[in-house]
Amino acid sequence: MPEGIIIKALSGYYYVKPLRDGLIAAEEEAVQCRGRGILKKKGIAPLVGDRIKYVLTENGEGMVDELLPRESELIRPQVANVKLAVLLFSVREPDMNLNLLDKFLVHIEHSGLETLIVLTKQDLAEDDGEATNQVKELYEHIGYEVMVTSSLTGSGSQELRERLAGIISVFSGQSGVGKSTLLNRLVPGLGLETGEISLRLGRGRHTTRHVELMDIGGGGFVADTPGFSQLDFLELGVEELSACFREFSSYAENCKFRGCSHIHEPGCHVIEAVNSGAIADSRYEHYKLFYNEMKDKKRRY
């Protein structure tokens, strides 16, 4: 029985790319499949990104017969087997927004995905890249992987292409960061129009209503989706927030009080680390902002 990967789900059909020896057969057309009734009876819903077994029917279509084990599953967007979240933030136009970057990082830490921060539009930097290097050093020191790219010059594109090979990734981040331009650099001939795929956090012109995997070569796929679009913390408990700031963990375990909020308690080692410069002021300020936002929402709901 052939195996494949679901690259799109639309109107009750699943579009499946065949797998050959575990690798996506990129040159082959996707097979339009229905799901077997037994899957629905068992409450099993195939998702984009699922690896499946299927059978071909007489009319050239197929039937999804079995889902293979998932490595991961996202609720929003609904996609399976994503390994990497790529956060795109521009150096200029729009200016770097570290508050928004940290908010994305909280959600991705909570989802359990690997993270790659990509700083775009390096060609627009006005200070010989000093500010970019400071941001890069800050997040690398925390333990995040950071790349710097310029779609104008092409710098960083090959490194990013190699990083995305063989995995499913989801792109999210600031609006107007040049996602389509970057993807056109990664995949010559892709021909995406600038602005065709928006990163507007669920607002504005984004018209994608279903998740679809975009083949970027090398066995890599990017989920064409609004991404983590509603960053409202409703799925995250306030007691889980500090664990989403990964540099807090080694200090938090030594706090005087169990369940320390790291806001006002005496004997808080996180606050001590902030005061000593071991934790960046910007990260701690954003932590307090998010903490208070979550407390306010909890009171309202």
Which positions make up the binding site for GTP? 120-123, 173-181
Q: How far apart are CA 103 and CA 100, in angstroms?
A: 5
- Of 227, 274, 213, 237, the closest CA to residue 115 belongs to 227
137's torsion region: left (phi>0), alpha (psi -120 to 50) or beta? alpha
Residues making up the annotated binding site for Zn(2+) are 255, 260, 262, 268
| Lookup: tokens for 85 | 């979240």
184, amino acid identity: N
Look-up of token digits 């097979």? 31
Positive/negative CA dihedral, 108, 113, 117, 121: negative
6 CB-contact burial (10 Å; exposed 0-12 / middle 13-18 / buried 19+): buried
Residues making up the annotated binding site are 120-123, 173-181, 255, 260, 262, 268
CA 124 to centroid of chain Cα atoms: 25
Question: Are 52 and 67 spatial neighbours (Cβ–Cβ below 8 Å)?
Answer: yes
Q: DSSP readout, 90-120?
A: ESTTTTP-HHHHHHHHHHHHHHT-EEEEEEE
